[in-house]
Amino acid sequence: MDNRNTPVWAVDALGALAHETRLAVFRALVKAGPQGMIAGALAEHCGVPPSTMSHHVATLERAGLVQSERESRLIHYRADFGGMRRLLTFLMQDCCQGVPEMCGDLMAGLACEPDTRG
Residue ranges of the alpha helices (H) in 1-118? 8-17, 20-32, 39-46, 50-62, 81-92
Report if residue 36 sits inside a domain.
yes
Distances in Å between the alpha carbon of 113 and those of 26, 33, 75, 105?
18, 12, 27, 17
Q: How many CA atoms lie within 13 A of 37 on its CB side?
A: 20
Report if residue 71 sits inside a domain.
yes
Report if residue 86 sits inside a domain.
yes
Report if residue 18 sits inside a domain.
yes
Report if residue 106 sits inside a domain.
no
Q: Which of 2-6, 43-47, 55-59, 71-75 has the lowest mean pLDDT?
A: 2-6
Report if residue 41 sits inside a domain.
yes
The domain that contains 70 carries what CATH number? 1.10.10.10
Distances in Å between the alpha carbon of 11 and those of 32, 60, 99?
25, 12, 27
pLDDT score, position 97 = 77
How many structural domains are present in the chain?
1
pTM of the complete model: 0.82
Report if residue 111 sits inside a domain.
no
Q: What is the pLDDT of residues 49-71, one digit of tens each?
A: 988 999 999 999 999 999 999 98
Report how far residue 89's alpha carbon sits from residue 27's, in angstroms, rounded to the nearest whole number.
18
Range of the domain at 57: 8-93
Report if residue 114 sits inside a domain.
no
Helices (runs of H) and strands (runs of E) counted in the chain: 5, 3
